[in-house]
Amino acid sequence: MSRKIPFFAELVTLLVLIAIPFILPPLGFTPATINRIMIFGLVGIGFDLLFGYTGLLSFGQSAFFGTGGMFAAYLLTQTSFTNVVLAIILGTIVAAVAGYLVGLVALRRTGIYFAMITVAIAEVFFFMEFNPLSEYTGGENGLPGVPSASLGLGFTTIQFKTDLEQYAFFAFWLFVGLVIALRIVRSPFGLVMRAIRENPDRATALGHNIHSYKLVVFIVAAMYAGFGGGLLAVMQGFMPPDAFMFATSGEIVMQTAIGGAGTLFGPILGAATWLLLSDFFQTVLNLGATWKLILGIVFVLLVVFLRRGLAGAFVDLYRLAFGTKKTTSAPAAAVHNTAAATAGALRHKSTRNKSGHIIEAKGLTKHYGGIAANSDIDFAVNYGEIRGIIGPNGAGKSTFFKMLTCEVQPTSGTIKFDGRDITHMNVTDACQIGLTKSYQINQLFERLTVRQNLMISALAELRGTFKLDLLKSLDRVRGLGAQVESTAALVHLTHRLNAPVADLAYGEKRRLEVGLALATSPSLLLLDEPLAGMSAEERVETVALLKSIAQDRTLVVIDHDMDSLFELVERVTVLQEGRILVEGTPDEIKNNAQVQEAYLGGVHGDAE
């Protein structure tokens, strides 16, 4: 239902925000608590973009919350500056600059190391506020005398004096923050954020400069925090130094976890639950110091039993009440017909009229410590050729592919692709110029749908390594729909476009793995064991699929299933112990005594 009504989420939020001042105060909640929910909800939305959508757990939000708030408070109390909203915006810009500088450092690491750096940075900001900068920040006293909410329009200033007016001021900014965040998550930029959360390595390999995306999201989250800090100063009439405390960061993380990360509404629900409960325990139940203990237990219970948070629980309840639509399977014949009809439409970087070598490696060597995974490989593939690579386990095939696609740097040797030296290129740029691979072990975006997976791939091709289209709708990316549909048709997944990847059968996942590589429109596609783990029936189908992909493309395919591979390829390169043993047509390889002795004797005999 929500998909059919435009701006459904925004409308519901607006109605709830309008209802809040009539519902919560009669239940005993103070205006201060309600306004704090608005402020922490806003900060939490920014944090959710970072954590819930991009997968970056930061404990550094207090640094930006404090910085933005303190800068605005300083302007409003220590200078002749009187425009409250402009001061908050300037504080937000300072928080953005701080976010940029911190992000440059912290994002050099991932996972727990990233989180630990943000903890350390939050502590540094706290120290700075209390010591070297106390002359400006008021040290442990904070900055008192911040004027109350007002909106300077130049010709007049609107004052927000009564409880209701003040609430309207804070609720308005929460609403604006939510609308912007919803646009971000519905944008191409927002989809790349989710790709980074799900599988950063694959997002990189598909041609996205994930570092830039992460840095921008980090700055955006810092801006939400900075704006929230300014609002806090205005709401309380003074800027408290404890905004900088690590506990503030912890509360933001906990509120988001309670409410449900990756939902945008979760942090608002989380802030409401957290603040209402702490208010209730302290003022209504008069629990004294024990309120923190009780709140801690409630937090643990909520996180343990509602794994997707309150927002997730509400969605589950909604589905239970109104039922959910299941993804329907189109009949197989229809699927194949669609494939036939649209497969030819899939774009790719054309090399149709070129001749000679599309890729050429000379003396390619890779050492891992004492292990020589590849040694002195000379290898070339012609435009339009379909090449097979075989070799026993550990022969160095995957390492060879990783070097060709610039995923790992060779120890020595050179690689030329389409006439240019790509030896020291990175995997993102290699993909952008038309060279990519599908993986031996599926590297998909598991929690997203097939359509979203293919979109992520196509977006890199259509938008380049990085684009700041935070507010653009995904629907408005020209050519995206066609690229996704034609790729899905080619890999026979049209009927599964709306299914989450986690629901796919193994064979479907394998086809999607190839589809992800295809959607980047490569002129040279490397396929690392595309038939691995498939049943006999699935292999026949996939070989047919690979044949249709191969038309007008250059392919290099690694596989252990030699019967299928020999049916597909024109020439075969045999690797053994990291070196090329021999090269030739499938017939020559089958009949080569050296190959039979070294490799085929056992395996091919078994296959036969």
Binding to ligand ATP (CB under 6 A) within 203-242 occurs at none
- Stretch of residues binding ligand ATP (CB under 6 A), selected from 153-161, 273-281, 397-405, 500-508: 397-405
Residue 347 C-beta: closest distance to ligand ATP, Å? 30
Nearer Cβ to ligand ATP (195/514): 514
530 binds ligand ATP (CB under 6 A): no
C-beta of 241: minimal distance to ligand ATP in Å?
Answer: 48
Among 399, 423, 487, 521, binds ligand ATP (CB under 6 A): 399
Closest separation between CB of residue 581 and ligand ATP, Å? 12
From residue 12, give the alpha-carbon distance in Å to each of 167, 178, 225: 18, 12, 24
**Distance between CA atoms of 221 and 47, rounded to whole angstroms?**
5
| CA pair distance 122, 160, nearest whole angstrom | 33
- Give the C-alpha separation, 527 to 250, whole Å: 45
Find the angle CA(141)-CA(130)-CA(75) to the nearest 5 degrees. Answer: 65
**Distance in Å, CB of 528 to ligand ATP, minimum:** 8
- State the nearest-atom distance from the C-beta of 512 to ligand ATP, in Å: 20
Count of CA atoms in the C-beta half-sphere (13 A) of 321: 7
- In the complex with ligand ATP, which residue's Cβ is closer, 37 or 531? 531
d(CA 411, CA 423): 10
CA distances from 568 to 223, 346, 564 (A): 54, 21, 7
Residue choice 15, 371, 502, 505 for contact with ligand ATP (CB under 6 A): 371
* C-alpha to C-alpha distance for 191 and 203, rounded to whole angstroms: 11
Q: Which span sits near ligand ATP by CB under 6 A: 27-35, 295-303, 366-374, 540-548?
A: 366-374
- Residue from 394, 481, 500, 507 binding ligand ATP (CB under 6 A): 394
User: Out of 80, 324, 353, 393, which residue is the one contacting ligand ATP (CB under 6 A)?
Assistant: 393
Contacts with ligand ATP in 435-474 (CB under 6 A)?
Answer: 440
Q: Which two tokens stand for residue 425?
A: 């290129």
- Contact by Cβ (8 Å): 249, 62: yes
For the chain, give the number of residues.
608
Q: Which of 391, 434, 515, 586 contacts ligand ATP by CB under 6 A?
A: 391
We find the least distance from the C-beta atom of residue 412 to ligand ATP, in angstroms, to be 16
Indicate which single residue of 73, 203, 359, 373 sits in contact with ligand ATP (rule: CB under 6 A): 373
Residue 127 lies near ligand ATP (rule: CB under 6 A): no
Q: Which of 397, 492, 510, 511 binds ligand ATP (CB under 6 A)?
A: 397
Indicate the pairing of strand 579-584 with strand 571-576: antiparallel
Burial of 540 (0-12, 13-18, 19+ CB in 10 A): middle
Minimum CB distance to ligand ATP smaller for 461 or for 559: 559
State the Cα–Cα distance between residues 585 and 569, nearest whole angstrom.
8
Residues 166 to 195: which contact ligand ATP by CB under 6 A? none
Asked whether position 368 contacts ligand ATP by CB under 6 A, the answer is yes
Q: Taking contact as CB under 6 A, which single stretch among the options 88-96, 106-114, 313-321, 393-401 is the one that binds ligand ATP?
A: 393-401
Based on the shown chain and the rule CB under 6 A, indicate whether residue 576 belongs to the binding site for ligand ATP.
no
Complex with ligand ATP: residue 170 or 401, whichever CB lies closer = 401
> Is the four-CA dihedral 480, 485, 487, 493 of positive or negative sign?
positive
288: left (phi over 0), alpha (psi -120 to 50) or beta: left
Residue whose C-alpha is closest to residue 177's, from 10, 64, 375: 10
Candidate residues 103, 188, 228, 396; the one interacting with ligand ATP per rule CB under 6 A: 396
Cα(496)–Cα(489) distance, rounded to whole angstroms? 10
Provide Rg for the chain, Cα atoms.
29
For residue 312, state whether it binds ligand ATP (rule: CB under 6 A): no
Summarize as ranges the residues that interact with ligand ATP (CB under 6 A). Answer: 368, 371, 373, 391, 393-399, 440
